């Protein structure tokens, strides 16, 4: 086939970017459209409108962004009066791993220090040669032959343990006597507790509590960071335990054996303490363990009962407990009380082991009426509060032919 040469000029479809976006045409498959003002072009696929088509090749801004995201940078920082290296480094925004910084600050006159840092992805780390004494470390111990600082003169020569320590730590150890910290262990205490005390045996109470665990402390810090990880709380004579720092044991019965709430907290390891020079002292760390505290006591005692009876009622648990006066049994003189109108007899009942030792009548010039209060031959079984198990009581009865309503009595129990 014969070849034919055609002389012509090919002009691709073109327009301003704004016009393209306004008209938003669909280019034929393989058709090229050029933005003559931005020099960008798109290739049609026969179905996608202009605005939805991607530009050919890579976008310059995207390329620049990739470069900026992946290049290392070195920033020089001139510190002002009072600024620290950390203050200067904090002014660098969005540092990337591998970035470096030179921090310059005036020492005196025209003398300046230049400290290099590299960003490790999380923090700025000083490069070797940092002028800060905190970043210059010894790789071997120091030999000394004379008294220096806290070191006594050795016999001959000796080694000062400097390996692995920085200049600040070494000089601090030489210039100041290091002291190890003491510690105060975590302790449990009760910030609130209710229902406790001494009551008549058989009394029922709801015993409430709120316990707390102190974090403990170190002489020179830091804070221990210790908190209660779990609780175990029990009550004497009550089945089951509670696992909360606040709670209630319901309907606990007061008995002769005192009852207490026992709260135990489990805790984990505390922070590592430091010496007075700020050096870690692992041997003084508060280790994981437990602490326990006991609440107040809840106790039951037998009461004694006394007072007049207006009927010649048989002496039993119910009639004795119905007497108008009662309190915990004890060796003491009871508060003066009167017979009142209609009294048939006056009764004093005390738990076996106690006895009436003297009775005076203040209404009759404190006449001694002890002999008139007759101990009964038979003991009476008297219950505690709320029907609690009965125990033997000795009973004294004053029952003359008539009792004047103005009579008063002062009874001593021994």
Kindly report the pTM of this predicted structure: 0.59
| C-beta separation of 210 from 193 below 8 A | yes
Q: What is the mean pLDDT of residues 195-217?
A: 98
DSSP state of 277: T
- Please state the three-class secondary structure of 55-112 as a single string: CCCCCHHHHHHHHHHHCCCEEEEECCCCCCHHHHHCCCCCCCCCCEEEEEEEEECCEE
Longest dimension (CA), the chain: 163
Q: What is the mean pLDDT of the chain?
A: 92
Q: How far apart are CA 215 and CA 116, in angstroms?
A: 41
228 has pLDDT over 60: yes
Neighbouring C-alpha atoms within 13 Å toward the C-beta of 279: 18
Among the residue ranges 156-165, 392-401, 404-413, the one predicted with the least confidence is 156-165
Residues 6 or more apart in contact with residue 144 via CB below 8 angstroms: 151, 154, 157, 158, 159, 160
5 has pLDDT over 80: yes
Per-residue confidence (pLDDT) for residue 69, from 0 to 100: 65
Q: What is the mean pLDDT of residues 159-169?
A: 85
* Cα 278 from chain centroid (whole Å): 25
| C-beta separation of 197 from 160 below 8 A | no
Q: How far apart are CA 90 and CA 124, in angstroms?
A: 9
| C-beta separation of 130 from 112 below 8 A | no
Q: What is the mean pLDDT of residues 278-302?
A: 97
Per-residue confidence (pLDDT) for residue 341, from 0 to 100: 96
- The pLDDT tens digits for 43-88 are 999 999 999 999 887 666 777 776 666 666 889 999 988 899 999 9
Residues making up the chain, counted from first to last: 414
Q: What is the mean pLDDT of residues 101-124?
A: 84
User: Alpha-carbon torsion 344, 346, 349, 355, what sign?
Assistant: negative
Per-residue confidence (pLDDT) for residue 129, from 0 to 100: 52
Q: What is the mean pLDDT of residues 229-245?
A: 97
130 has pLDDT over 60: no
- The pLDDT tens digits for 6-49 are 888 888 899 999 999 999 999 999 999 999 999 999 999 999 99
Q: How far apart are CA 131 and CA 144, in angstroms?
A: 25
3 has pLDDT over 90: no
Per-residue confidence (pLDDT) for residue 161, from 0 to 100: 87
């Amino acid at each position: 086939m014969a070849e034919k040469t055609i002389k012509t000029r090919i002009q691709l479809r073109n327009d301003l970017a704004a016009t393209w976006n306004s008209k938003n045409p669909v280019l034929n498959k393989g058709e090229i459209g050029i933005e003559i003002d931005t020099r960008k072009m798109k290739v049609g696929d026969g179905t996608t409108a202009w605005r939805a088509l991607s530009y050919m090749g890579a976008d310059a801004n995207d390329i620049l962004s990739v470069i900026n995201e992946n290049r290392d940078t070195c920033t020089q920082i001139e510190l002002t009066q009072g600024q620290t290296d950390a203050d200067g480094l904090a002014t660098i925004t969005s540092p990337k791993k591998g970035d470096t910084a030179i921090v310059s600050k005036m020492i005196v006159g025209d003398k300046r220090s230049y400290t290099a840092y590299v960003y490790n992805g999380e923090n700025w780390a000083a490069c070797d040669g940092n002028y800060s004494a905190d970043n210059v470390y010894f790789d071997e111990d120091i030999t000394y032959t004379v008294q220096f600082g806290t070191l006594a003169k050795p016999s001959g020569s000796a080694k000062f343990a400097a390996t692995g320590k920085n200049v600040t730590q070494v000089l601090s150890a030489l210039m100041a006597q290091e002291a190890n910290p003491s510690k105060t262990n975590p302790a449990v205490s009760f910030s609130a507790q209710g229902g406790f005390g001494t009551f008549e045996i058989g009394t029922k109470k709801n015993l409430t509590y709120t316990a707390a665990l102190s974090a403990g402390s170190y002489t020179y810090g830091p804070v221990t960071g210790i908190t209660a990880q779990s609780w175990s709380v029990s009550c004497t004579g009550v089945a089951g335990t509670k696992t909360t720092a606040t709670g209630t044991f319901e309907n606990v019965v007061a008995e002769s054996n005192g009852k207490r709430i026992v709260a135990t907290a489990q805790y984990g390891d505390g922070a590592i303490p430091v010496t007075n020079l700020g050096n870690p002292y692992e041997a003084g760390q508060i280790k994981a363990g437990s602490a326990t505290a006991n609440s107040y006591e809840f106790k039951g005692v037998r009461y004694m009962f006394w007072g007049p009876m207006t009927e010649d009622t048989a002496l039993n648990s119910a009639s004795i407990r119905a007497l108008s006066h009662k309190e915990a049994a004890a060796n003491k003189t009871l508060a003066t009380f009167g017979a009142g109108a209609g009294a048939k007899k006056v009764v004093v009942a005390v738990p076996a082991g106690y006895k009436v030792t003297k009775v005076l009548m203040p209404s009759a010039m404190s006449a001694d009426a002890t002999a008139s209060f007759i101990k009964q031959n038979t003991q009476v079984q008297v219950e505690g509060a709320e029907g609690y198990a009965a125990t033997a009581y000795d009973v004294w009865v004053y029952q003359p032919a008539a009792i004047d309503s103005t009579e008063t009595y002062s009874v001593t129990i021994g």
